[in-house]
Amino acid sequence: MNEESTHAAGETKGARRASEVEPAAAGPVLRWSARRKQEAVLRLLRGEPLDVVGRAMGVETYRLDEWRSRAVAGMESALRERGDDDPGAAHLREAQRVIGEMTMQNELLRDRIKKKNW
């Protein structure tokens, strides 16, 4: 009995899964780096068709579409005009401003005390 006969019909041991796409002379790609995802998304944003980029890079079109959507959402949040979306950040900035003013006042008062003691 050979090993292949112990598996389900049409299935062989060690067969490559569909998610393991092998680009030309690079070996199987099991996980996509942020850099490679960025390259794919940039190609899409430059106007290349989804199916062409998918075939060329060995990525499913639904996955490319998801990457593009996340990239656009990230750009939108990075390009917001106002950074006051976080009320905690505004409170922190105000507290830092008050601390700075109080520090300056303390330094001025220390200087006055030094001058009077001489």
- Domain of 21, CATH number, reads 1.10.10
Confidence check: pLDDT of 14 > 50: no
Higher pLDDT: 11 or 74? It is: 74
Q: So what's the pLDDT on residue 71?
A: 93
pLDDT at position 79 is 82
Check whether residue 15 and residue 42 sit in a common domain.
yes
What value does the mean pLDDT take over residues 19-43?
Answer: 71
Distance CA 64, CA 72 (A): 12
pLDDT for residue 22: 44
Q: Are residues 49 and 107 in the same domain?
A: no
State mean pLDDT over 74-88: 74
The answer to whether residues 21 and 73 belong to one domain is yes
Q: How far is CA 112 from CA 67, 100, 115, in A?
A: 62, 19, 5
Are 69 and 12 part of one and the same domain?
yes
Identify whether residues 50 and 26 lie together within a single domain: yes
Q: Which ranges of 16-86 does DSSP label H, i.e. alpha helix?
A: 34-45, 50-57, 61-78
**% of the chain surpassing 70 pLDDT:** 69
Total structural domains within the chain: 2
Predicted confidence (pLDDT) at residue 100 exceeds the cutoff of 80 = yes
Please tell me whether residues 18 and 51 are part of one structural domain.
yes
Domain range for 35:
3-79
Nearest-angstrom CA–CA distance, 81 and 78? 9
Rg value, the chain, Cα: 30
Residues 104 and 60 in one domain: no
